[in-house]
Structure 1
Amino acid sequence: MTLGALAPVPALAQETIKVGILHSLSGTMAISETTLKDTMLFLIDKQNKKGGLLGKQLEAVVVDPASDWPLFAEKARELISVNGVAAVFGCWTSVSRKSVLPVFEELNSILFYPVQYEGEESQRNVFYTGAAPNQQAIPAVDYLMSQEGGSVERWVLAGTDYVYPRTTNKILEQYLLDHGVAAEDIMINYTPFGHSDWQTIVSDIKAFGSAGKKTAVVSTINGDANVPFYKELGNQGISAEDIPVVAFSVGEEELAGLDTTPLVGHLAAWNYFQSVDTPENAAFIEAWKAYTGNPDRVTNDPMEAHVIGFNLWVQAVEKTGTTDTDAVLDAIIGLETPNLTGGVAKMLPNHHITKPVLIGEIQADGQFDVVYETDLVPGDAWSDFLPESKMIEADWTAPISCGNYNTETKACGGTTAAAQ
């Protein structure tokens, strides 16, 4: 044996840049998340056709956490430690996101989270490309208070029983009370994931709305439970004129499986709708339908959030010349990319982005007619309406460089939501 035979063999350069996709393809959230997996495959394919990134092709690594929240953490660890992905795009529910936060922090990887959420969080390794409460929930309530049928006076806060609806409704309840709504005019209800028997709850909502005051439902119901909920509204003859529902988790994808005839006029609050008429959106829809080979495939808000997050990540990698986590974390703040509604999404120091707020009315064809739109709103990680967090700010740039900086004590409390 020669000495040369004992020399270490140099590692082959990685031939592709791997991108993790962490979305439920089975279970209660598959109705919403499967399309986001397809969206990421579409974006990766599109980037590869443009020459890839840093001279390499991108390789999608898809896993199925199956709507099982602890499994999200296991699959995230697998993507980072075993597959060696450069970044991960994924999660829908806040409980799944919170499940993976320690993994991304421990392994120092990056998560792009594309769905509206409850706020009260800013983590160094996460970019929140969906809406914070001030970019969806608060503007939706303001709209109902001021414009919907002579202003709403009674409120039903109906949600799935987990962190996003509970924290969002905590913010909304305080906001309503601060605006003079009586406690007895607020009804709060939670149901499990996948809840299917809505008859009694919808009857209770109907009774609550019969007190002679204009009533609305603010819905943070998630996943496939929305299908029987809306069906039961129709069964009991509750129209948008009687008790309008504004939903935060129902978009074009969820409506695709419903008879929308009895739902016409009900509302959803998002930052994007397929029906928005801009050249950017028209080009995206055309390319999406061509990629899927299905002219009936719809687009929706979390898809746009993945478009924004992916484009910002590509920009940051190109800017730094590396996929190194620390380099990308520094480089991405302040970068901008066009959104699909004609504006610009900018990554802010709190790891949230600028977004417009749109209120849409459900149409018979399953699309939305935009009835209200704001200018670009910067995402606020910590709610100004909760006493325990109104003094907290997130800023991942020097000299603060933390996710929950107390502006009164001038101290940083850590990287995750200490106030929860």
Structure 2
Amino acid sequence: MTITRRNLIKNAGGAAIVAVAAPNLILSTASAAQPWIAKGGTIKVGVLFSQSGPLAVVENDSTQVVRFAIDEINANGGVAGLQIEPVVIDAKSDIKIYSEKISQLILRDRVISTFGGYTSASRRAVAPIVMARDHLFYYPTCYEGRECTQNIINTGPLANQHSQDLIPFMVENFGKKVYLVGSNYIWPKESNKNAKVWLEKVGGEVVGEEYVPLGGSEFAPIFNKIRQAKPDFIFSTVIGDSDVAMHKQFLEEGFKADKLPIASLTTGEIEVRAMGAEAGAGHFLSAPYFQALDNPTNHRFVENYLKSPYGGGGVTHYNMEETYLAVYAWKAGLEKALAQAGDIEAVTPRMIRDASGGIVLDDDISPEGKVWIDPDNFNIWLKPKIGQCQGDGQFKIIRAAAEHVAPDPMSIYPERGVCKADGLHAPDGTIQKNVL
């Protein structure tokens, strides 16, 4: 859908327009004209992740790594001599809070950009408000695509950089029959649409498909169905606490990873630490980053993060690293926008977005190796990898792309058009702005 003023209420379930219209958040004409960054002040950015609730198992570490990255940048002089000030909010794993608090961050706290979200539901909750305010939101994790927005920069993999490699690998090595298990919201369902496309191309077969509520922990009925269906592997898009519960129950039900491996888009070092290495061992993850990556930048990142005040989780993780990249991509975009504007007080959120196309994070910054922001669709070019969890909770990388893979948000929807910097270019020649 295309976001307009007319359908803003419908798309955000009413929360967006309520937040925008709340009297205590409305800005006067004079305050609206104030610069987003004032000389002699700080550069405020929003940090909108869940530090409590079922999503906190992953999102709390995203909060911590944003703080870590900001500390690094501030220690090196900040941006234009100004320090970055994070405004941190706990979204409490509640979609309504994401939509309410993004308005607060923009209108009351006057952040110039926000980092946040781990689910497509949370991204879609903030999107109408970010778009209506022509603001800037960094979504730093994998997502399904099928969108073309002008106010969101994505630093995680799209489906064509994710399951497109994992599905053929699993079919080749374990067999053609797959059981799909996901959390019950848009990303798992869209991810499974993509998985079915890749599965069909390699002659695979879906023998079952089940979804559990976010935070759900009862998998016994699903495992009973899996016994009857006898798949060769499970393809999982289960997230957060539910992911931890599923792997624990997999063992309790007597399943073995060498006989029925789980191929996941989400189960990384953080989840394995929460569930115990025994529950993770033998299963597979597709991700652009693993803690075990052997390069100097990653060694430095892991060491510095884990010994910092923020590293209490004890591991690094693909979502954390993608969040870390988002902060440095934002810094590079801000510096480029400042060079173009010539005055820090002239820089706006949209100017940072427009300056970010083509931004490169080289090997000396990016723990996963060189990546860059696509100048058309503002997603990230990266090298997909597949890892297998080992007995110590770390992953052995068993396949890595030799070349960067371009992000393609319309990979299984070519009839929708091509995402460009100014909108979705439809086959009929029209250009649609902010398409969700």
TM-score (ref. length: structure 2) = 0.85
The offset of 1:296, in angstroms, is 6.4
- In structure 2, distance between residues paired with 1:171 and 1:239: 27
The C-alpha deviation readout for 1:356-399, integer Å capped at 9, x for no partner, is 1111111111110001111211111112x34xx44521110xxx
- C-alpha RMSD of the superposition: 2.0
Residue number in structure 1 paired with 2:272 = 255
What is residue 205 of structure 1 aligned with on the other side?
226
Distance change (3 Å), C-alpha of 1:293 and 1:162 = closer
AA at the equivalent of 1:392: G
- For residues 249 and 353 of structure 1, what CA distance do their matches in structure 2 show? 18
- Identity value in percent: 28
* Distance change (3 Å), C-alpha of 1:293 and 1:89: closer
Equivalenced residue count is 391
- Deviation of residue 235 (structure 1)? 1.2
Is 1:62 aligned to residue 88 of structure 2?
Answer: yes
Decide whether aligned partners of structure 1 residues 347 and 14 sit closer, same or farther in structure 2, where only a CA change above 3 A counts: farther
Other structure's SS at 2:308 match = helix
Instruction: Verify: 1:393 aligned to 2:414, yes or no.
Output: no
Equivalence for 1:409:
428
Q: Which has the larger radius of gyration?
A: 1
Offset, 1:207: 2.4
Output one character per residue of 1:78-107: Cα deviation in whole Å (capped at 9) or x when no partner.
011000001100011100100000110111
Cα distance per residue 1:217-259 (max 9 Å; x no partner): 1100011011221011111221222111111111111111122
2:404 match: 376
In 2, Cα distance between equivalents of 1:155 and 1:201: 14
Structure 2 counterpart of 1:180, which letter?
Answer: G
> Which of 305, 314, 317 is 1:297 aligned to?
314
- Please say which of residues 103-112 and 314-323 is displaced more in the overlay: 314-323
Residue identity opposite 1:96 in structure 2: S
Tell me if the contact between 1:173 and 1:186 (Cα under 8 Å) persists in the aligned partners.
Answer: no
Query: Is residue 149–residue 435 contact of structure 2 (8 Å, CA) maintained in 1?
Result: yes
- Selected match of 1:319 from 316, 336, 339: 336
Q: Is the 8 A contact 1:239 1:262 kept in 2?
A: no
State the SS of the aligned residue for 1:21: strand
> Structure 2: which 5+ runs fail to align?
1-29, 339-343
Q: 1:238 to 1:103 in 2, by over 3 A?
A: same
- TM-superposed deviation, 1:295: 7.5
Q: RCO greater where, 1 or 2, for CA within 8 Å and sep 6 or more?
A: 2
| Aligned-partner Cα distance in 2 for 1:244–1:344 | 30
Partner of 1:51: 77
Q: Which residue number corresponds to residue 23 of structure 2?
A: none
Q: Which amino acid aligns with 1:67?
A: S
User: Which residue identity lines up with residue 429 of structure 2 in the other structure?
Assistant: K
* 3-state SS of 2:378 partner: coil
Distance (whole Å) between structure 2 residues aligned to residue 236 and residue 312 of structure 1? 44
Q: Secondary structure at the match of 1:48?
A: helix
Query: Alpha carbons of 1:381 and 1:282: their partners in 2 closer, same or farther (altered >3 Å)?
Result: same
Give the structure 2 partner of residue 278 of structure 1: 295
Partner of 2:191: 168
